[in-house]
Structure 1
């Protein structure tokens, strides 16, 4: 066995995220989900008005 092959399978070691980075990611995900929900409700509203 080669002793130099004792490293992880990944290229980079896992980087720990700071609380600010976690908060920014959560905010981004929340805004994306809100935009999807808003688009769904706007489309449903337009369908009710336009196609009734």
Structure 2
């Protein structure tokens, strides 16, 4: 891990990071939601 001494991020870099973080959270939420739906469907069919 190399630590950058000039840790000044431009607003577009911060925005890109936030967008990526939001996308990851969205994917996690989608996977969780799909898992719950499949579990409910599985329980209702068996």
Please indicate the TM-score interval, normalised by the length of the shorter structure: 0.7 to 0.9
Query: TM-score by structure 1 length?
Result: 0.71
Cross-structure match for 2:18 = 26
Query: TM-score by structure 2 length?
Result: 0.80
Map 1:1-52 onto structure 2 (within 5 A): 12-52=4-44
Unaligned runs of 5+ in 2: none
- Compare the two structures and name the one with the higher helix fraction: 2
Unaligned runs of 5+ in 1: 1-10
Number of residues of Structure 1 aligned to a counterpart in Structure 2: 42
SS across alignment from 1:23:
helix
